[in-house]
A and B are shown apart, each in its own frame.
Chain A
């Protein structure tokens, strides 16, 4: 990674505050120095406020220069319609804003936190990255998520144990329009569940008036063996009339499976 980054000499990092981009930004700072790195956060309704706070905290702690830009994928009807390649339109918007910034600031390369595990997933956004010349050093060098967590732990980067946190639109089934109201309800419900002390992977999947809650295995056991009233009411107060607990628990890409994009 050190040699890879040094070859370019400077970099703009698409920075979400997730495990991968946080690690990449911190390494880039170490290797290239703060004068040669800019982490750029794309903000929109699909970007959780909690994630933004994490991103800022990591940047502050490790001296990562940050620029925030608003992205407007919600104004793109192709994105709002929520097709199975929704991420392509989001990432097209993101990278079309970030690439000119990197260029204007004389940064040699624009990178993202895609890791080698991601390459096996349904990731239409990867095409948008390629089209904008974005490189993915973690994936290119074979870093898995587990590698990145371990290396982040070694460096004291607090995101090492943070659950994966894809954008809020991933909670809306394909074909159901992505709207600010729906995103806000999902975010509020997940925040309320975190406030109950729920740890690990957590998703609130939007099914109209019903919220389907996916929990990590240990949390699923705990809640099915307990009084679920507080969980149910927390989600209801976020705006859902009905609440259901998924009996298979958290599954990454759950709505890809439901939408028939990937196998069950």
Chain B
């Protein structure tokens, strides 16, 4: 379980984030705005990746997040 490897996996998915680990909680801070967290399929893949990397919880840091669904989102590989 490392934040770094999850960061790499998320970047490959097209959702670049800084990952902060607190026990088994992964806190994601997107490095680009407009990531498509609202899309259930994208979210499911993010959660699956987090679980694969040993986390049980994954949360989106809302510090500077803009999640408006209508906004052009990051392209997610295979999405």
B32 interface residue per 8 A CB criterion: no
B78 at the interface (CB under 8 A from A): no
A224, B47: Cβ atoms under 8 Å? no
Q: Which of A75-83, A99-107, A227-235 sits within the interface?
A: A227-235
B65 within 8 Å of A (CB atoms): yes
B46 touches A244 (CB 8 A): no
Of the listed residues A173, A223, A247, the one surrounded by the most CB atoms of chain B closer than 10 A to its CB is A247
A227 contacts which chain B residues (CB < 8 A)?
66-68
Contact partner of B58 (CB less than 8 A), chosen from A226, A231, A247, is A247
Q: Which of B25, B46, B58, B69 has the most CB atoms of chain A within a 10 A radius of its CB?
A: B25
Set B24, B38, B58: member contacting A246, Cβ < 8 A: B58
B76 at the A/B interface (Cβ < 8 Å)?
no
The reply to whether B57 and A254 form a contact with Cβ atoms under 8 Å apart is yes
**Residue pair B38, A224 in contact (C-beta under 8 Å):** yes
**Is A207's beta carbon under 8 Å from chain B?**
yes
By the criterion of a CB under 8 Å from any partner CB, how many residues of chain B are at the interface?
27
CB distance from B43 to the nearest CB of A (A): 5
- Is the beta-carbon distance between B22 and A244 smaller than 8 angstroms? no
- Chain B positions 56 through 71: 1 when the CB is less than 8 Å from some CB of chain A, otherwise 0: 1111111101111110
| CA–CA, A212 and B60, complex, Å | 9
Q: Per-residue CB proximity of B13-39 to A under 8 Å, as 1/0?
A: 000000000111101100000000110
Residue of chain B at shortest CB distance from A207: B22
Which residues of B sit under 8 angstroms from A212, Cβ to Cβ?
Answer: 25, 57, 59
The answer on a CB contact under 8 Å between A245 and B69 is: no
Q: B69 contacts which of A225, A243, A248, A258 (Cβ < 8 Å)?
A: A225
> Within the complex, what minimum Cβ distance (angstroms) separates A175 from chain B?
9
In the complex, the answer to whether A243 meets B62 with C-beta atoms within 8 Å is yes
> A257 at interface (Cβ–Cβ under 8 A)?
yes
> Would A225 and B38 be within 8 Å (CB), given that A244-B27, A257-B57 are in contact?
yes
How far is it, in angstroms, between the C-alpha of A191 and the C-alpha of B24 when the chains are bound? Answer: 27
Q: Are B57 and A245 touching (Cβ within 8 A)?
A: no
Q: A221–B58 contact, CB under 8 A?
A: no
- The answer to the question of B51 belonging to the interface, with a C-beta cut-off of 8 Å to chain A, is yes
**A247 contacts B27, CB within 8 Å?**
no
Distance in angstroms from A56 CB to nearest chain B CB is 35
User: 14 pairs across A/B with beta carbons < 8 Å?
Assistant: A210-B22, A210-B27, A223-B67, A227-B67, A228-B62, A228-B65, A232-B63, A245-B59, A245-B60, A247-B46, A248-B58, A254-B57, A258-B24, A260-B24
